Amino acid sequence: MASIAKRPDGRWRARYLDPSGREHAKHFSRRVEAQAWLDEATAGIVTGTYVDPNAGLETVGEHARRWRASLVHRPNYLRVIDNPLDNHIVPAFGDRPL
């Protein structure tokens, strides 16, 4: 679902819902620009190539913790994974965005 509306200040507000149901909005000075932004987003959703604009805000450390929590393995195997994560990857790259 997507829409464009003219704001009282004369700018155009374009908004759409992503596949997870979250709303994304952006303001433009021209309606044509708003329509182009919506067309790009909706085409990505329809074709399956949609990438969340906020996806790059997650850091390597956050992603590593979330990935590690999703693993279901034996304790010995998890120690093999924890060692490089805790000693090398997270200290070196933990605060960098993906």
DSSP letter (8 states) at residue 55:
G
pLDDT single digits (tens) 54-67: 777 888 998 898 88
- State the fold for domain 2-51: GCC-box Binding Domain (3.30.730)
pLDDT single digits (tens) 39-98: 999 999 889 888 877 777 888 998 898 888 888 888 888 888 889 999 999 999 988 887
Domain parsing of the chain, residue ranges: 2-51, 56-93
Separation of CA 39 from chain center:
18
String of DSSP letters for 60-91: HHHHHHHHHHH----HHHHHHHHHHIIIIIHH
State how far the Cα of 61 lies from the Cα of 69, in Å rounded to an integer. Answer: 12
